[in-house]
């Protein structure tokens, strides 16, 4: 190892990979009764293992990327400290994005129907069920892309919208009784 940052990134990548594998192979199968997808009385629904499995898979992928970066691509690894300005900005983006996700659906329904129909009545009706998720999710993806790239681009706006819509459709289309965030809490 040439640099202490490279060693830290290698160790962090290995810890993330090992933790993810333990979660996927040992913890999730031993602790959760249903699988990723559960079929009950001919109804397909999300199993209890879906969210922890996706989280562990994401952690595994992040660990692999860190390990490959540390060993092959980046000679100095994680030697820079995260800027406090970047950290505060990231927290503000998350807070504003989640607020948009929570509030935009009810606000747009209120505007569209002049208050005659509540958002709760349209929770599982397209296109209304996608509004908050798409607006808040697209905002967060766009802001983080622009923040890490240090520039604004209409391409980032387009990519944020397309990726958020694709994520919403991947989660929503296979399941009859799924409510996208934040609709389950309203």
Q: How far is CA 7 from CA 2, 3, 71, 73, 79, in A?
A: 8, 7, 9, 14, 10
Task: Look at the alpha carbons of 80, 86, 88, 92 in this order and tell me if their dihedral is positive or negative.
Answer: negative
| Nearest-angstrom CA–CA distance, 157 and 164 | 11
Packing angle between helix 131-149 and helix 84-112, nearest 10 degrees?
A: 150
The separation between the first and the last C-alpha atoms of the chain, rounded to the nearest angstrom, is 51
Please answer whether residues 10 and 70 qualify as being in contact, where contact means their C-beta atoms are separated by less than 8 angstroms.
yes
Q: What angle do CA 161, 142, 108 make, to 5 degrees?
A: 55
Q: Is 95 exposed, middle or buried (0-12, 13-18, 19+ CB in 10 A)?
A: exposed
Looking only at Cα atoms, what is the longest distance across the chain? 66
pLDDT in tens, the chain (186 residues): 456 567 778 888 899 999 999 999 998 888 887 777 777 777 777 777 888 888 899 999 999 988 888 877 655 544 455 677 888 899 999 999 999 999 999 999 999 998 888 888 888 888 888 999 999 999 999 999 999 888 999 999 999 999 999 988 888 887 766 777 777 654
| pTM summary value | 0.64
């Amino acid at each position: 190892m040439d640099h202490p940052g490279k060693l830290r990134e290698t160790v962090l990548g290995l810890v993330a990979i090992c933790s993810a594998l333990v979660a996927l192979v040992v913890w999730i199968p031993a602790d959760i009764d249903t699988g990723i997808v559960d079929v009950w009385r001919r109804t397909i629904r999300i199993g209890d293992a879906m969210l922890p499995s996706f989280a562990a898979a994401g952690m595994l992928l992040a660990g692999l990327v860190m390990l490959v970066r540390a060993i092959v691509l980046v000679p100095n690894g994680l030697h820079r400290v995260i800027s406090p300005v970047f950290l505060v900005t990231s927290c503000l983006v998350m807070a504003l994005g989640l607020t948009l996700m929570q509030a935009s659906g009810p606000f747009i329904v209120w505007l569209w129907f002049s208050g005659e129909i509540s958002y709760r009545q349209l929770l599982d009706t397209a296109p209304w069920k996608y509004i908050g998720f798409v607006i808040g999710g697209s905002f967060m993806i766009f802001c983080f892309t622009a923040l890490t790239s240090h520039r604004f681009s209409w391409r980032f706006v387009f990519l944020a919208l397309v990726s958020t819509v694709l994520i919403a459709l991947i989660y929503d289309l296979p399941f009859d009784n799924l409510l996208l965030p934040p609709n389950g809490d309203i």
